[in-house]
Amino acid sequence: MTRETTMTSRAERRHPEIEQPCSWCHAIPGEPCTNRRNERREKPHPGRRDVWVIAHTDCPTCQAQAGTPCPIQTPGSQQVGVHLGRAQAATAAYEQALEDASHDMNTRRSR
């Protein structure tokens, strides 16, 4: 069995939303989310991602500016996530930033 290996930086393996606090498990910025047994989760909680998306991306659907939540409302609730277009734009911007950063990385020298 062959396994493809790629060099990735620590930042590339880290979820960008980790820079936001998590309202569900109360993880502080920079720390991973945990489950009810206080074990590390593989991915951050969805609400933490929404906070990151709101903080960094303008919404193409409702024109909410970065830092302002989308006015998504359902009966009995004030805020439920972000518009899909905003989440996709945030993901695309993050992936482009990673791509740009990878061009700045020094390559290993051959002996």
Local structure of residue 16 (DSSP, 8 states): G
Residues in CB range of 18: below 8 A, 6 or more apart: 29, 30, 31, 32, 44, 48
- For residue 77, the cross-strand partners are 74
CA distance 50 to 88: 11
Helix axis angle for 84-104 and 46-56, nearest 10°, is 80
Tens digits of pLDDT across the chain (111 residues): 344 434 444 444 567 888 889 989 999 998 999 999 999 998 889 889 899 999 999 999 999 999 999 887 655 555 568 899 999 999 898 888 888 777 655 554 555
pLDDT the model gives residue 3: 40
pTM for this prediction: 0.68
Residue written as token pair 């991973």? 32
Q: Report CA-CA distances (Å) from 21 to 16, 18, 41, 64.
A: 12, 7, 15, 21
The answer to whether 60 touches 32, Cβ cutoff 8 Å, is no
